[in-house]
Structure 1
Amino acid sequence: MELLILVAAGAIAGAMNAVAGGGTFLTLPALIAAGVPPVLANASSTVALFPAALSSVWAYRKQLRPIGPVSLRALVGVSIAGGLAGALLLLFTPGAVFDKVLPWLLLLAAMMILSGGKLRAWLAARGHRIGPRTTLTGQFIVAIYGGYFGGAVGLITMALWALLSELDFQAAAPARLATVAAANAAAVTCFIVAGAVWWPQAIAVLAGGVIGGYWGAKAGGRLPAGVVRIAVIAVTWVTTAVFFWRGYGPN
């Protein structure tokens, strides 16, 4: 029954990621509820959702392109380095500390999901632009966050790129997926080598994620955008509130 619940959580998370994102907000608490320690649950969730990210990059492979003056190869390179650094940071974070940090990471991700579109528009409308070197530095920092936790990392990436040049967000989606997948690839490799994955639980989530991702992609285009957005926001904020209670509520 526990594995079936994880499959269901993975399926819903896969559908969410295919439509709008936010799947981590389901898989992480589901794994913790199944008895996986928080740090290892975060690692297992990253591993479980990684195949879906790879399939998305493969689907967009012919549309990959640079972001302004910054080559995609450079962005992917620093994303791999940052993802590895974030994964190592996670593995060396004591569980008690992670319990205190996690609610704030969830809150950051929830705020990005809630206001990401407005933030992107605000950044794109500003005349201030950053250069390639600063962009790569920012990409490295974002990738560290992605390897450590990763909630709403795609939105944070797009906000960073909007400072570099006028950004067509639809055209930049393949590059965004590629950099997120690159950071996750480094993190997944690190987690597997370190033995930080609870495989039965991770495979259950992975199986559900593949199914949910496929059907979510098929059904996503027929769902009203407002309904999808409300559902994702509700899940993220409820999960954030639960983890704040778990980390800071009365014992």
Structure 2
Amino acid sequence: MEPLLSSAALAAAAFAAGVLNAIAGGGTFLTFPALVWAGVPPIAANATSALAVCPGYLGSALGFRAELAALPRALLAREVGLSALGGVAGALLLLVTPAKVFAGVVPWLLLFATVLFALGPRLARWAGGGHGTGLARWRLPALLAVAVYGGYFNGGLGILLMALYLLVGEQRLHTVNALKNLNSFVLSVVSVAAFTLGGAIVWRQALLMAVFATLGGFAGARLARRLPVAWVRAIVIVTGLTMSALFFARSA
């Protein structure tokens, strides 16, 4: 792909991903495939995509400062520590995964994330219906497992975190969102740091996409007031299924 065309495609994908993440999530379904189609190897594409969407998590977390301040400091410290640990573990697992193995796993990861995104509202309703009262003791181990997944592959991370907190009995939706955003930011930062040390990030593409993903996030915040979320969710699901099918075809 020509450098100018490649840069334009990556910028457009990152901007659209920022918009999607601000409205309904699912931006990884655009950033990761765009990088692969631009010629970036899958592992490096995954690491670069993680950096590209990382700034958006900070803005989202800052938007819930009041909810985070109301939580016990000891709880926040434990959860932030586990998110960091899991993010590093997932990133290191990615770095030691043979490129051929990861390329074979990618279609399944994309499909899993798409199905998770599609079932997100149902999972939230089910988890919020009192099903999590006996699962509180699994809060920290489950958070660690989700953080490992997030460090390894970012797709569907927010939905997993929201479902986790609702399942373990957290009833306040704003608090669930606050914890989701904070832990997503922490595990993304440490995983990106690990990717950086491992030399997995393609910096020119990463910085370009981070800028446009951030701009897309600002635009998405405005569009969120105008577009029906159901439409956006449908676009994300169709995109995820299409990308999954394309990657299955590539690996065949």
Q: In which range does the TM-score fall when normalised by the shorter chain? A: over 0.9
Count of residues in Structure 1 that have an aligned counterpart in Structure 2: 247
* Match in the other structure for 2:135: 130
Q: CA deviation at 1:60?
A: 2.2
Which of these residues, 61, 67, 71, is aligned with residue 63 of structure 1? 67
Aligned partner of 2:197 among 180, 193, 197: 193
Runs of 4+ with >4 A deviation: 65-70
Matched, 1:235 2:239: yes
Q: 3-state SS of the aligned residue for 1:223?
A: coil
Partner of 2:153: 149
Range moving further from structure 2, 204-213 or 39-48? 204-213
1:3-23 CA-to-partner distances (Å, cap 9, x unmatched) read 111111100001000111000
Identity %: 40
CA contact (8 A) 2:158 2:184 kept: yes
What amino acid sits opposite 2:217 in the alignment? Answer: G
The alignment yields a C-alpha RMSD, in angstroms, of: 1.8
CA shift, 1:69, in A, is: 11
Q: CA deviation at 1:243?
A: 1.2
Which residue identity is paired with 2:92?
L
Aligned pair partner of 1:244 in 244, 248, 251: 248
Q: How big is each residue's C-alpha offset from its partner over 1:126-167, in whole Å with a ceiling of 9 and x where there is no partner?
A: 2652234x2111100100000000111111112112221152
The change in CA–CA distance for 1:123 and 1:172 in structure 2 (over 3 A counts) is closer
Which secondary structure state, in structure 2, belongs to the residue aligned with residue 71 of structure 1?
Answer: helix
Change (3 A) 1:127 1:175: closer
User: Secondary structure, in 3 states, of the residue corresponding to 1:165?
Assistant: coil
Give TM-score, length-normalised by structure 2: 0.92
* Deviating more after overlay: 18-27 vs 220-229: 220-229
Deviations 1:38-87 (A, max 9, x none): 00000001011111211221232232157799822211110000000000
C-alpha displacement of 1:101: 1.0
**Amino acid aligned to 1:105:** L
Amino acid across the alignment from 1:175: L
Partner of 2:222: 218
Retained in 2: the 8 A contact 1:4–1:204? Answer: no
1:1-251, aligned counterparts within 5 Å? 1=4, 2-64=6-68, 71-125=75-129, 126=131, 128-132=133-137, 134-247=138-251, 249=252
Greater shift, 18-27 or 112-121, is seen at 112-121
User: Which amino acid in 2 is paired with 1:180?
Assistant: S
* TM-superposition CA deviations, 1:165-211 (whole Å, max 9, x none): 15233331111100111111110111111211111111121121011
Change (3 A) 1:81 1:66: farther
Query: Residue deviations 1:198-225, cap 9 Å, x none?
Result: 1111112112101111111111111112
Q: Distance in 2 between matches of 1:68 and 1:130?
A: 20
- In 2, the alpha carbon distance for the partners of 1:200 and 1:142 equals 29
Residue 87 of structure 2 contacts residue 148 of structure 2 at CA under 8 Å; is this kept in 1?
yes
Query: What SS does structure 2 have at the residue aligned with 1:167?
Result: coil
Q: What runs of 5+ residues in structure 2 fail to find an aligned partner?
A: none
Residues 158 and 200 of structure 1, relative CA distance in 2, 3 Å threshold = same
In 2, distance between residues paired with 1:155 and 1:69? 24
Distance 1:37 1:44, change over 3 A: same
The separation in 2 between residues aligned to 1:149 and 1:157, in whole angstroms, is: 14
